[in-house]
Amino acid sequence: MVLPLDSIRVIALVAIFASTLFKTFQGIIRHRRAQAFAEAHGCEPAPKRRQKWYYFGADTLVESYRHKKQFHYLELLQQNFTEYGLTYTSSVLGTSKLTTIDPANVEAILKTQWSDFLARPARKIPLDGLVGPGILTADGNLWSTHRKLMQPSFKRKSLEDFGLYDEHFERLLQHFPTPGQVIDLQNLFFGFTLDTSTQHLFGCSSGTLAPSSVVSPEPALAGAFDRSQRAAVEKFALGWADRFRPQLQYWRDTSRVHRFADRYVKLALQRKRDNNDASLEKQESKGTSEGSASASLPRARLNFLDELCERTQNHDDIRKGALHMLVAGRDSTASLLSNLWFMLARDKRVWHKLKEEVDALQGAQPGSENLRDMTYLRFCINESLRCHPAIPWSLRAAGQDTTLPSGGGSDQKSPIFVKAGTTVLIPLYCLHRRVEFWGADADRFYPERWEDAKPGWSYIPFLAGPRMCLGYQFAINTASYVTVRMIQELESISPAAEGPWKEELGLSMASADGVHVRLAYRKDKASAVPHM
Ligand code: HEM
């Protein structure tokens, strides 16, 4: 039976009307429940950011975009905190947003009520295509399974094998220019961390800094990985609108990264099977039940994949584990090094003091004990992560209606209601510059302040609570080792241009102008004659 056109129109209109009525009714009930919930918890509203069209928030988007283009977005957030207090709300394209640097709220979001706040909503669009659901992009049971799988690889001992860096550090030195010429250290640091991360995670380096005479086993990997990461940043900015962009290049790049990962996961699983067979044969021939499969692996150069294979033989989990680590660790560590060296090149006093500490090693390569004893180096790294946190913020979404302990009412001390779906932003950059904790000179790079600093929740460059960074020790070891070895080569360093540090916001935060410097070498150093 075919319905006449008029009847179809009537049915469609009734369906639209009924569904609108139902949604409005649902909305009213939800709103009432939320009100009752907020009242029961003594909540008061937090200050609202002034916006021309509050619920649409297009003026905020335009303002943010303008500041981002001029590399001042974090300053805009600073101004907002001065104007509205430590916690304020806004609306972006109909989604409520809560921005806070109140330590009581920060502790609740990251620790005491952490399971109310989800990481996946903000990360699935930018990262799913490149790494899939895993430790960075999942919540709940899936997150917990992946976290348990990764955690044993970050025990202190397994992170102190500095031999991993030697070959790559030598390659980095070969890019140092003749005295007086300008070099962008930031470029070198991003190349170095991609080479060492792929070496550590997959057992095969991307060879970004390798001399042209060395044929890289993965010549196109670095480009594909860099483009995929840049696309992740654009996807984050575009959100759901990203699906309307052409995706062919992205698809090609992520497929290349996946093929690379798959190849090395397969090899690691094969090694694991071979080792099991070998150890079984050994046990049988000895007629003893002593020893284990892992005991027969050569411990010295185990890579992350080999280690993961000890705990699971699921190809997909192993691949995700390594790719998530690559995304989490590569840019952030390179940004830390860049931000630190940007300041070292400009602050002669700090440079001389640090050089003095390094000179106590009398040119010997630093080991883990030496690095632990270098307090001024640690102060410099802390201060760099305070002033220019390599990850400048943490983003969550409320998974259910909930509350936060502070920010409401005229004195901003009452609890506040947080509706399910609200985006929650903690700008670490602004938290780390609060004058109440760091004094009137909070904006100044001054490592000595760490002599008696006890920061608590006002300094969390690696976050805190159950989702704290897994690789923080690894990152600090890498940055310390590279910094000491570079200082051992250099007599002095000077910036190629003046001007303040400006933010470049990507998956991590580095200097928008790079780190262009001139180097003067120590007389006895081979790097005084560059090789490239
Ligand atoms: C200076 C370098 C680094 C900084 C500043 C840093 C900072 C952070 C921050 C702030 C988070 C939390 C993000 C959030 O949830 O909002 C995080 C998470 C994470 N980081 Fe790092 N990170 C660094 C290096 C590394 C390295 C080298 C690795 C691994 C090799 C790593 C692995 C991870 C992982 C796996 C997570 C997710 C933890 C979870 O959600 O359970 N990070 N990092």
User: What does the radius of gyration of the chain's CA atoms come to, in whole angstroms?
Assistant: 26
What count of other Cβ atoms lies within 10 Å of the Cβ of residue 287? 6
DSSP helix/strand/coil, 48: strand
Residue 29 lies in a domain: no
pLDDT band at 236 (very low <50, low <70, confident <90, very high): confident
Task: Note the pLDDT of residue 65.
Answer: 83
Closest residue (by CA) to atom 24 of ligand 1?
329
Provide the percentage of residues in the chain whose pLDDT is more than 70. 92
More confident residue, 145 or 160: 145
Query: Taking the alpha carbons of 109, 111, 112, 115 in that order, is the dihedral positive or negative?
Result: positive
CATH code at 174?
Answer: 1.10.630.10
- Asked if residues 93 and 56 have their Cβ atoms less than 8 Å apart, the reply is yes
Degrees, nearest 5: CA angle 498-499-504:
125
Residue 21 lies in a domain: no
Say which range, 87-91, 257-261, 294-298, 309-313, has the weakest mean pLDDT.
294-298
Task: Note the pLDDT of residue 252.
Answer: 95
Flag whether pLDDT at 159 surpasses 60.
Answer: yes
Residue 144 lies in a domain: yes
Query: Taking the alpha carbons of 139, 145, 149, 151 in that order, is the dihedral positive or negative?
Result: positive
Average pLDDT value over all residues in the chain? 89
Exposure class string for 325-349: b at 16+ Cβ within 10 A, else e: bbbbbbbbbbbbbbbbbbbbbbbee
Task: Note the pLDDT of residue 290.
Answer: 39
DSSP helix/strand/coil, 49: coil
Q: Which of 165, 463, 469 to mutate to test the pocket of ligand 1 (most atoms within 8 A of CB)?
A: 469
- Residue 428 Cα to ligand 1 midpoint, Å, equals 13
What count of other Cβ atoms lies within 10 Å of the Cβ of residue 352? 10
- Residue 467 Cα to ligand 1 midpoint, Å, equals 9
Ligand 1 atom with the smallest distance to the CA of 197 is: 30
Q: Which domain holds residue 267?
A: 51-528
Closest residue (by CA) to atom 5 of ligand 1?
390
Flag whether pLDDT at 292 surpasses 50.
Answer: no
Closest residue (by CA) to atom 41 of ligand 1?
467
Ligand 1 atom with the smallest distance to the CA of 147 is: 41
- Residue 358 Cα to ligand 1 midpoint, Å, equals 28
Say which range, 103-107, 159-163, 369-373, 380-384, has the weakest mean pLDDT.
159-163
DSSP helix/strand/coil, 398: strand
- Residue 277 Cα to ligand 1 midpoint, Å, equals 36
Residue 430 lies in a domain: yes
- Residue 506 Cα to ligand 1 midpoint, Å, equals 14
DSSP helix/strand/coil, 98: strand
Query: Residue 118: enclosing H or E segment and its boundaries?
Result: strand 117-118
Residues constituting the chain: 532
Binding residues: 469
Highest mean pLDDT, choosing among 60-64, 198-202, 426-430: 426-430
- At residue 28, what are phi and psi to the nearest 5 degrees? -65, -45
pLDDT band at 384 (very low <50, low <70, confident <90, very high): very high
Task: Name the amino acid, one letter, at 10.
Answer: V
Binding residues for heme: 469
Q: How many domains does the chain have?
A: 1
Residue 37 lies in a domain: no
What span, in angstroms and rounded, lies between the C-alpha atoms of 121 and 117?
10
Q: Which of 195, 332, 425, 477 to mutate to test the pocket of ligand 1 (most atoms within 8 A of CB)?
A: 332
More confident residue, 343 or 303: 343
How does pLDDT run across 396-410, given as a tens digit for each residue?
999 999 999 999 999
Residue 435 lies in a domain: yes
pLDDT band at 524 (very low <50, low <70, confident <90, very high): confident
Task: Note the pLDDT of residue 527.
Answer: 53
Say which range, 147-161, 163-177, 216-230, 459-473, has the weakest mean pLDDT.
147-161
Ligand 1 atom with the smallest distance to the CA of 201 is: 30
How does pLDDT run across 496-523, given as a tens digit for each residue?
998 999 999 988 999 999 999 999 999 8
- Work out the average pLDDT over 293-303: 44
Flag whether pLDDT at 420 surpasses 70.
Answer: yes
At which residue do the structure tokens 């302040």 appear? 449
Flag whether pLDDT at 298 surpasses 60.
Answer: no
- Residue 325 Cα to ligand 1 midpoint, Å, equals 8
What span, in angstroms and rounded, lies between the C-alpha atoms of 518 and 521?
10
Say which range, 95-109, 151-165, 193-207, 338-352, has the weakest mean pLDDT.
151-165
- Residue 462 Cα to ligand 1 midpoint, Å, equals 6
How does pLDDT run across 174-208, given as a tens digit for each residue?
999 999 899 999 999 999 999 999 998 998 888 89
What span, in angstroms and rounded, lies between the C-alpha atoms of 480 and 2?
76
Cβ neighbors of 87 (< 8 A, separation 6 or more) are 46, 47, 98, 99, 100, 101, 102, 105, 404, 406, 407, 412, 416
Closest residue (by CA) to atom 9 of ligand 1?
462
DSSP helix/strand/coil, 146: helix
Closest residue (by CA) to atom 6 of ligand 1?
462
DSSP string, 185-232: HHHHHHHHHHHHHHHHHHSS---TTS-TTSPPSSTTHHHHHHHHHHHH
Q: What ipTM does this complex have?
A: 0.99
- Work out the average pLDDT over 293-307: 56
Task: Note the pLDDT of residue 280.
Answer: 67
Residue 78 lies in a domain: yes
As for ligand 1, residues whose beta carbon falls within 6 Å of it are: 119, 135-136, 147, 324-325, 328-329, 332-333, 336, 390-391, 394, 461-463, 467, 469-471, 474-475
- Residue 525 Cα to ligand 1 midpoint, Å, equals 35
Residue 8 lies in a domain: no
